[in-house]
Chains A and B, each alone.
Chain A
Amino acid sequence: MKTERDEQFHSFVLSRRAGLVRTATLLTAGDPHLAEDLVQSTLTKLYVAWPAFQRADNIEGYLRRTLVNTLTDERRRWWRRHERSVADLPDRPRAEPGSGGDLDEGLRAALRDLPPKMRAAVVFRYFYDLGVADTADALGCSEGTVKSQTARALDRLRAALAQYPLTGVIQ
């Protein structure tokens, strides 16, 4: 029998899961399997802490923090390091010439080389357009750290993608 918590959680999953998968896919540098695991783990944490989640002043902030905490959990993080040992991602169609697929693969590889929090900083700042303060809140660090992390991340992405200049970023 479903409780009120169950009903609320079920509705939440139906309305938010697709977006969470997209975020998780970026946070795991495009690995669909790791992204699904990250989403499942995050949702499980949310269910366990559902009353606190519901009471949170900033639901979106709480959600981002839970995602990042799950991503960077030391015991989970260990296996994320193996992302780079997987040469080819299965179940992914090959890019058509001129479709931008090569660029995507290059960026995916470059993201994979970033430490998880640095990668998360890039995702929140340059994909979700979050401010420095909100990104700092999500990452559980200072605003200064966000600035330095994003600057270093962009330097590393630029170096890795030398033949494909990055645009649309303002440090």
Chain B
Amino acid sequence: MMDLHDRLDRIAGSAAEPSAAEADADLARGRRALRRRRSVRALGTSAIAAAALVAAVTISTRTGPATTPRDKAPAQVVAARLVAYEGKQPQGFTIDKVPAGWEIQGGSVGHLTIAPKNAADKNPDVFVNKIAITLQSKDDHSTPTGTQLEVGGKPGVLKVAAQGKDLWVKQPDGVWMLVQFWDARGWTQQDIVEFADGIHVQPGAERIVG
């Protein structure tokens, strides 16, 4: 018999000491986040600047990739131009459209992850700066709240987060499908509805738990 503490210690493992390069990478991520935060705050103080940002986003989403340096603006801001998806369809969910320059990164019968083709993170179980699709958890019995709308004739609810948006779409069997936009800047409501309307829950899709 083993003590719980010992078992947890084995699971925790023996993490290696970080290299200077790893610390540099953490530092770079922190600096980028701080720059973004300061940029947002600066923009928030100026209505003119905010209007200019909206205009720039609108133009860039309609004309293709922006030329803004990577560190100055997240790539997701330019991702809302939808094109027909012609790649291999996954198991749980199929899609008609995909943002230009994005791809199905992976998933399972429980979720689908869509990400920029050049995304640094290739793990389909990580949804940061990506779009994730799933069905409402079996353990979540709440009714989504937010802006009521319609998605291809189905009831929808749009919930706005800090910079992302969650769109819930009620399926014919009563189960809600969630489309999570980690960063919805550059996406109009029409874009979001159009994208979600092209998502089809397949018979083999499974609801997650937890």
Q: Which residues on A are within 8 Å of B, measured CB to CB? A: 6, 9-10, 13-14, 17-19, 21-23, 25-26, 29-30, 32-34, 37, 40-41, 43-48, 50, 75-76, 78-86, 100, 103-104, 107-108, 111, 113, 115, 123, 126-127, 164-169
Contact = CB atoms under 8 A, between A and B. Distances in A.
A33 B123 contact: yes
Contacts of A18: 15-18
15 contacts: A32-B13, A33-B123, A44-B29, A44-B33, A75-B180, A76-B127, A82-B110, A82-B125, A85-B108, A100-B7, A103-B7, A111-B11, A126-B4, A127-B5, A167-B1
Given A46-B30, A85-B110, A79 B126 contact: yes
B12 A14 contact: no
A105 to B, nearest CB: 9
Nearest to A74: B161
Nearest to B134: A78
Nearest to B34: A48
A115 B7 CA distance: 19
B34 A82 contact: no
Contacts of B166: 75
B64 to A, nearest CB: 28
How many interface residues does chain B have, given as a range?
Answer: 35 or more
B47 interface: no
B203 interface: no
Nearest to B127: A79
B48 interface: no
Given A18-B18, A47-B34, 8 more contacts: A6-B31, A26-B12, A29-B11, A34-B126, A48-B34, A83-B125, A85-B109, A127-B12
Contacts of A126: 4-5, 8
Nearest to B6: A168
A168 B125 contact: no
A10 B18 CA distance: 11
A165 B13 CA distance: 22
Interface string B1-41: 11111111111111111101011101101110110010000
Given A13-B27, A30-B11, A85-B108, A75 B182 contact: yes
B125 A13 contact: no
